[in-house]
Amino acid sequence: MKKIFPGNFVANLKSHDGGQGVVAVPGRVYYHKIGYALVDSTGNTEFDVIIPSPDMRGDDKVRADDTGLVVPAGAVVYSVGLRVSDTRKNKDGGSATSGLSGTSGDTIALKDADNSAADTISTTVVSTPTIAVDADGTILPSSAKNGVVTGAILAGAETLKVFVRNSQGNGAGSTLSSTAVGGTPIICEVSYFIDDDVADAEDTRVPYTTET
């Protein structure tokens, strides 16, 4: 997808089809990818992240949704976030609820694997925040985010998912499910930058050679 420049940055960057980069700082292309993992009544211990298609009409969706939140090799991840949605139809009535049901002490995190070291993406790149299952086995609508000033370069491409992790944080937890009609979306976001391509002849003015 064609990169844009700050003067054209008027809305959220597109996440679909590889994402849309903005040259916010010369020499770097920044990406902000947003998607959701849907937890249904069946439940699981890991959930793919869906990047919705920009095509809104269900009967004329030229571009399919993307399945998988991919961060490319060479990316420097500097921010990761999760949000558990409030699934009430009427947000003004009753108490906030997500409909999520799991095992007390388990956590959810946006990661490359459920057992990767500590709370990190690719061990050393950035710590990813976690949201814990409460003592009553539910998760209230909430959010968690972590950012770093200095990131590390991702050695290889990774596909991030929402994983349920055990209380020790070293492996898979128990099944997480939802009682909400249609399921509970967990909003996922990751921000990173990659080095921009070296400038070419189109980026400067090279004099034409005049033949004699």
- pLDDT tens-place string over residues 164-196: 998 887 788 999 999 999 999 999 999 999 998
Q: Provide the residue ranges of all domains of the chain, joining segments of one domain with +.
A: 6-54+63-84+97-197
CATH 2.60.120 fits 6-54+63-84+97-197, yes or no: yes
Q: What is the pLDDT of residues 34-54, one digit of tens each?
A: 999 999 999 999 999 999 888
Please tell me the pTM assigned to this model.
0.84
- Which conformational region is residue 167 in: left (phi greater than 0), alpha (psi within -120 to 50 degrees), or beta? alpha
Where do we find the tokens 């069946």?
A: 42
Where do we find the tokens 């990818």?
A: 33
Query: How long a stretch of residues is the chain?
Result: 212
Q: How far apart are CA 179 and CA 168, in angstroms?
A: 26
